[in-house]
Amino acid sequence: MKALEGRVAFVTGCGSQGPGWGNGKAIAVTFARHGARVYGVDRDRAAAEETRRIVAAEGGEMLVGTGDVTERAAVEALVADCVAQLGRIDVLVNNVGLSLPGDPATMTEEVWDSQIDVNLKSAFLCCKAVLPLMEKQGKGAVVSVASTAAIRYTGKPQAGYAAAKAGLVQFSRVVAVDYARRGVRLNCVLPGLMNTPLVEKLATQFASSETGLDRDAFYERRHAQVPMGHMGEAWDVAEAALFLASDAAKYITGTEILVDGGLCAAVRA
């Protein structure tokens, strides 16, 4: 039997920000391959539809909803649509995220607020809508994609992102304890330096202006930072999320899995 056979997974950020595989896209496809019926959410309908087409081509089932999960009304509507079409939600994956540079002196209040909204408030709103459903079912799993920036300084000024992801980790721990006797588990995946379309976008936009490096040097530096000698892939994040969502992790709650190639263990920027 497949790990998520017969379960419904609500996955936010299921599209990708460019050609290739982002974390949410890989998670949606991986979950579908393991038997889940996936309800994928993204602000970019075209990106979400691309993921859906891949799932469908492999014989899986995926529905798509479009909306901004930093808005309560949008989240409630998306969750209601998922339940109306698929009957339940067994797994919630909080995957949306965005890192913008800046320290308190240089970051605008608007950027700070957006970092909290995208990286933390979105998970709160999704949990607010989904947890009562899981409690009624007597079982559920929430997997939130945080970051090694939540627990380490990763070599660049991103105060808002780091604070929000740290908040996501602690939010998950506290709620996990509250819901432990209700059959609902909450855990986080903490990716390190990953090679995703978002990184390609950042390399193009910020490499020269922020680091003085060209694109190739930007990538080489990221690879060199990792003890394993290379960045990870979205599939590494997806496999960790699959484990935490499945019954293989039925006695695991309120904790985190590092997916970072040893980066945090090395304790270096």
Give the residue numbers marked as catalytic: 161
Helix (H, G, I), strand (E, B) or coil at 88: coil
Selection from 176, 121, 188 nearest residue 149 by Cα: 188
Backbone φ and ψ of 91, nearest 5°: -135, 130
Q: How far is CA 187 from the centre of its chain?
A: 11
CA distance 208 to 214: 6
Of the candidates 149, 71, 164, 151, the residue with the CA atom closest to the CA atom of residue 115: 164
Q: How far is CA 188 from CA 45, 96, 163, 169, 202, in A?
A: 26, 13, 15, 7, 24
Give Cβ neighbours of residue 216 (< 8 Å, ≥ 6 apart): none
- What gap in Å lies between CA 79 and CA 253, rounded to an integer? 23
CA atoms within 13 A on the CB side of 240: 25
Cβ contacts of 36 within 8 Å, gap of 6 or more? 4, 5, 7, 8, 9, 90, 91
| Residue 13 · residue 96 · CB < 8 Å | yes
DSSP at 158: B
